[in-house]
Structure 1
Amino acid sequence: MQAHVQNVLRKRVCSFELFLCVPFHSSRNFRNFSSNNNADEKPIFPVGRHDIAIIKEREKDVDLNNEKERIRDQSIQYKLRDKTRQFIDFIRVVAKGGAGGDGCIAFNREKFDLKVPPSGGNGGRGGDVIFVASPNHSSLHSIPRTINASRGHNGKGNMRHGSAGKNLIVPVPLGTIVREFVPQPNKKQLERIDYEGQMNNNENLDEETKLAKKRAKTWVHYPRYDEKNTLSSFFLEAEKMMEEEERYNRAFKVEEELNLDLSVPGAQYVVARGGSGGKGNPHFLTNANRSPKYATKGEEGRVRYLELELKTIADVGLVGLPNAGKSTFLTAVSNAHPKIAPYPFTTLNPYIGTVDYLDRFQLTIADIPGLIQGAHKNVGLGHSFLRHIERSEVLVYIIDLSKNKPWEDWSILRNELEKYRSGLTKRPSLVVANKADITEKAKISLPIFEKMLKEKEQEIVIVPVSAKYKKNIVKVTTLLRQVVEKVREKEKLP
Structure 2
Amino acid sequence: MSLFSISNRMINKSLIKNCLNYCQIATALRPKKGKSSRKEAQYFSDAKRVRTVGGKGGDGCVSFLQLWCNERAGPDGGDGGNGGHVIFQASNDVRNFNHVNSVLRANEGGIGSAKDCHGKNAKHTVIKVPIGTVIRNAEGLIVADLANADLMFVAARGGAGGKGNRFFTTDTETSPKVCEYGPPGEDCSYILELRSMAEVGLIGFPNAGKSTLLNALTRAKPKVAPYAFTTLRPHLGTVQYDDHVQLTIADLPGLVPDAHRNRGLGIQFLKHAERCTLLLFVLDASSPNPWMQYNQLMHELEKFGGSLAQRPQLVVANKMDVPASAGNFEQLQQQLRQPNLLGISAKMGHNLAQLLSSIRAAYDRHKAQEEEQRKA
TM-score by length of 1: 0.63
Q: Is the 8 A contact 2:95 2:197 kept in 1?
A: no
The answer to whether residue 69 in structure 2 is matched with residue 118 in structure 1 is no
Number of residue-to-residue matches in the alignment? 336
Q: 2:236 aligns with which of 352, 357, 376?
A: 352
Q: CA deviation at 1:305?
A: 2.6
The answer to whether residue 226 in structure 2 is matched with residue 342 in structure 1 is yes
Separation in structure 2 between the aligned mates of residue 314 and residue 123 of structure 1, nearest angstrom: 46
Deviations 1:278-316 (A, max 9, x none): 111111223343222222222332233322112242221
> Which secondary structure does the structure 2 equivalent of 1:281 belong to?
coil
The residue number in structure 2 matching 1:299 is 183
The answer to whether residue 118 in structure 2 is matched with residue 144 in structure 1 is no
Deviations 1:431-481 (A, max 9, x none): 100111223x22221222122123xxxx56210111111111222222211
Q: Is the 8 A contact 1:315 1:364 kept in 2?
A: yes
The answer to whether residue 336 in structure 2 is matched with residue 453 in structure 1 is yes
Q: Point out the structure with the larger strand share.
A: 2
Aligned residue runs from structure 1 range 472-491, under 5 A = 472-491=351-370
The residue number in structure 2 matching 1:128 is 85
The residue number in structure 1 matching 2:318 is 434
Q: Point out the structure with the larger helix share.
A: 1
Separation in structure 1 between the aligned mates of residue 345 and residue 107 of structure 2, nearest angstrom: 56
- Gapped runs of 5+ residues in structure 1? 1-79, 184-256
Q: CA deviation at 1:258?
A: 6.5
Q: Is the 8 A contact 1:312 1:366 kept in 2?
A: no
Q: Is the 8 A contact 1:89 1:384 kept in 2?
A: no
Q: 2:213 aligns with which of 321, 324, 329?
A: 329
Q: Which moved further from structure 2: 140-149 or 403-412?
A: 140-149
Q: Which stretches of structure 1, 4 residues or longer, exceed 4 Å deviation after superposition?
A: none
Q: Is the 8 A contact 2:83 2:109 kept in 1?
A: yes
Q: 2:275 aligns with which of 379, 391, 407?
A: 391
Q: 1:279 aligns with which of 163, 166, 172?
A: 163
The residue number in structure 1 matching 2:262 is 378
Separation in structure 2 between the aligned mates of residue 83 and residue 470 of structure 1, nearest angstrom: 23
Q: CA deviation at 1:484?
A: 0.6
> Are residues 431 and 382 of structure 1, via their aligned partners in 2, closer, same or farther at CA, if it must alter by over 3 Å?
same
The answer to whether residue 295 in structure 2 is matched with residue 411 in structure 1 is yes
> Which secondary structure does the structure 1 equivalent of 2:65 belong to?
coil
Separation in structure 1 between the aligned mates of residue 104 and residue 220 of structure 2, nearest angstrom: 33
Q: 1:467 aligns with which of 346, 350, 362?
A: 346
User: What letter is aligned with 1:296?
Assistant: E
Q: Is the 8 A contact 1:150 1:166 kept in 2?
A: yes
Separation in structure 2 between the aligned mates of residue 112 and residue 364 of structure 1, nearest angstrom: 74
Structure with larger Rg = 1
Q: Is the 8 A contact 1:258 1:271 kept in 2?
A: no
> Are residues 148 and 360 of structure 1, via their aligned partners in 2, closer, same or farther at CA, if it must alter by over 3 Å?
closer
Superposition RMSD in Å: 2.4
Q: Which moved further from structure 2: 159-168 or 407-416?
A: 159-168
Separation in structure 2 between the aligned mates of residue 312 and residue 166 of structure 1, nearest angstrom: 29
Separation in structure 1 between the aligned mates of residue 142 and residue 299 of structure 2, nearest angstrom: 33
The residue number in structure 1 matching 2:200 is 316
The answer to whether residue 119 in structure 2 is matched with residue 162 in structure 1 is yes
Q: Is the 8 A contact 2:238 2:249 kept in 1?
A: yes
Deviations 1:140-195 (A, max 9, x none): 34433332222222211122211223322223233321122349xxxxxxxxxxxx
| Identity over aligned pairs, percent | 40
User: What letter is aligned with 2:160?
Assistant: S
Q: CA deviation at 1:90?
A: 2.3
Q: CA deviation at 1:347?
A: 2.1
Q: CA deviation at 1:112?
A: 6.4
> Are residues 147 and 486 of structure 1, via their aligned partners in 2, closer, same or farther at CA, if it must alter by over 3 Å?
same
> Which secondary structure does the structure 2 equivalent of 1:321 belong to?
coil
Q: CA deviation at 1:338?
A: 2.0
Q: CA deviation at 1:328?
A: 1.6
> Which secondary structure does the structure 1 equivalent of 2:64 belong to?
coil
Separation in structure 2 between the aligned mates of residue 146 and residue 266 of structure 1, nearest angstrom: 22
Separation in structure 1 between the aligned mates of residue 316 and residue 185 of structure 2, nearest angstrom: 53
The residue number in structure 2 matching 1:421 is 305
Separation in structure 2 between the aligned mates of residue 379 and residue 136 of structure 1, nearest angstrom: 34
Q: Is the 8 A contact 2:61 2:111 kept in 1?
A: yes
Q: CA deviation at 1:490?
A: 1.9
Q: Is the 8 A contact 2:44 2:236 kept in 1?
A: no
